[in-house]
């Protein structure tokens, strides 16, 4: 029996468990059957995911269900991501939960406290001024002089009028990737070229500025706190399905040649602390704003 078949069968067994079914029904109601079916669809469609510990797949999917976000990666809300890590000198395949750009937007808009939320590339010539003290940024999109992307900007505006920008130059974003992404900063080309930062730098950059903006200046609802903590982590649950730990384990860089063709998924996660609960009626604001 292949490892892939064993994983699929084990996952099917977990999903047929009465207690697991009830957990998803409690979270999603009538949508639970469709969501559980999507777990199998996503797993069956990803050969690398079929190598993962089925319990980590279920735990990652449970976080998506808690947040009521679809896990089809093509929809751009959340995803079940396989990656290889090293534990006790052995390589193991596990599944991590990963938030995507639209997922953060969705959770933010559910609070009904945002009037606008967006992120965008900034091209050469468009940036007019940037005040690091006030955070004020001035753009003129009619002054674009080339297709070269010089930076990335995220913007939010609350219904109470509070607004905030976060702008990072392309160099600042790359420095972030090199600091937090083990695969991107690897000196080995066969690993670095598999990094999401290498294959889709702009998408990763946009997600980065949006996530940092919301987590620092936005409303940290309970769902948003969960999303920030769980993003790009392997979730450990107790027997009752309660989350007891988030592990942000980086892909191992020192791998053998035979592992070079394995699917390596990029980890890009800043160390996080459990955020303080914030009054949902008031955005987090800095002094003198």
DSSP secondary structure letters along 19-52: HHHHHHHHHHGGGHHHHHHHHHHHHHT-TTGGGS
Answer whether residue 268 is part of any domain: no
Residue 78, in any domain of the structure? yes
Give residue 261's pLDDT. 38
In the predicted model, is pLDDT for residue 231 greater than 60? yes
Alpha helix ranges (H) inside the chain = 3-15, 18-28, 32-44, 54-66, 101-110, 170-180, 189-192, 196-199, 201-217, 222-230
Is the Cβ–Cβ distance between 285 and 217 less than 8 Å? yes
Long-range contacts of 180-188 (CB under 8 A, 24+ apart): 180/267, 180/268, 180/269, 180/270, 181/266, 181/267, 181/268, 182/250, 182/251, 182/252, 182/253, 182/267, 183/251, 183/253, 183/264, 183/266, 183/267, 184/266, 184/268, 186/253, 188/253
pLDDT of residue 250: 47
Total domains in the chain come to 1
pLDDT of residue 281: 38
Per-residue pLDDT of 117-170, as tens digits, reads 999 999 999 999 988 888 788 999 999 999 999 999 999 999 999 999 999 999
pLDDT given for residue 270 in this prediction: 52
Q: How confident is the model at residue 283 (pLDDT cuts 50, 70, 90)?
A: very low
Q: Is the pLDDT of residue 104 over 70?
A: yes
pLDDT at 29: 94
Residue 197 resides in a domain: yes
The confidence band for 40, taking pLDDT boundaries of 50, 70 and 90, is very high
- The domain of 8 spans 3-259
- Is the predicted pLDDT of residue 101 greater than 70, yes or no? yes
Q: What are the tens digits of pLDDT across the range 170-213?
A: 999 999 888 877 667 666 665 556 667 788 889 889 989 999 99
Residue 269, pLDDT > 60, answer no
Computed on alpha carbons and rounded to an integer, the radius of gyration of the chain in Å comes to 20
Any residues with CB less than 8 A from the CB of 94 and at least 6 apart, and which?
Answer: 52, 53, 56, 82, 83, 85, 234, 249
> Is 32 contained in some domain?
yes
pLDDT bracket for residue 110 (50, 70, 90): very high
Between 120 and 236, whose confidence is greater? 120
- For residue 149, being part of any structural domain is answered with yes
Per-residue burial over 269-285, b if 16 or more Cβ lie within 10 Å, else e, is beeeeeeeebeeeebbe
CA distance 205 to 117: 16
pLDDT tier for residue 90 given thresholds of 50, 70 and 90 = confident
Tokens read off for 109: 């808009």
Region of residue 4 (left: phi > 0; alpha: psi -120 to 50; beta: else)? alpha
- What pLDDT is attached to residue 88? 66
Residue-averaged pLDDT of the chain: 80
pLDDT of residue 252: 39
Is the pLDDT at 288 greater than 50, yes or no? no
Residue 129 maps to a domain: yes
Q: What pLDDT does residue 22 have?
A: 93
Q: Are strands 90-99 and 78-87 parallel, antiparallel or unpaired?
A: antiparallel
* Model pLDDT, residue 262: 39
Pairing of strands 234-237, 163-169: unpaired
């Amino acid at each position: 029996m292949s490892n892939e078949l064993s994983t699929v069968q084990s996952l099917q067994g977990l999903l047929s468990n009465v207690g697991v079914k009830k957990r998803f029904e409690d979270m999603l109601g009538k949508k639970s059957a469709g969501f559980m079916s999507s777990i199998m669809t996503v797993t069956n469609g990803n050969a690398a995911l079929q190598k993962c510990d089925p319990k980590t797949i279920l735990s990652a999917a449970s976080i998506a269900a808690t947040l009521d976000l679809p896990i089809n990666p093509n929809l751009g809300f959340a995803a079940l991501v396989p990656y290889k890590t090293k534990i006790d000198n052995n390589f193991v395949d596990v599944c991590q939960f990963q938030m995507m750009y639209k997922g953060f937007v969705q959770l933010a808009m559910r609070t009904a406290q945002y009037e606008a939320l967006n992120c965008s590339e900034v091209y050469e010539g468009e940036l007019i001024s940037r005040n690091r003290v006030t955070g004020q940024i001035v753009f003129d999109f009619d002054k674009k002089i080339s297709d070269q992307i010089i930076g990335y900007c995220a913007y939010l505006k609350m219904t109470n009028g509070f607004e905030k920008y976060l702008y990072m130059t392309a160099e600042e974003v790359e420095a972030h990737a090199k600091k937090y992404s083990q695969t991107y900063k690897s000196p080995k080309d066969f690993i670095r070229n598999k990094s999401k930062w290498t294959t889709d730098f702009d998408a990763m950059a946009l997600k980065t500025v949006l996530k940092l903006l919301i987590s620092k200046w936005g409303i940290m609802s309970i769902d948003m706190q969960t999303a920030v903590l769980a993003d790009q982590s392997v979730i450990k649950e107790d027997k009752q399905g309660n989350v007891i730990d988030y592990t942000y384990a980086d892909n191992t860089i020192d791998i053998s040649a035979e592992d070079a063709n394995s699917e390596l998924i990029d980890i890009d996660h800043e160390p996080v602390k459990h955020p303080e609960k914030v009054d949902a009626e008031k955005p987090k604001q800095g002094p003198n704003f």
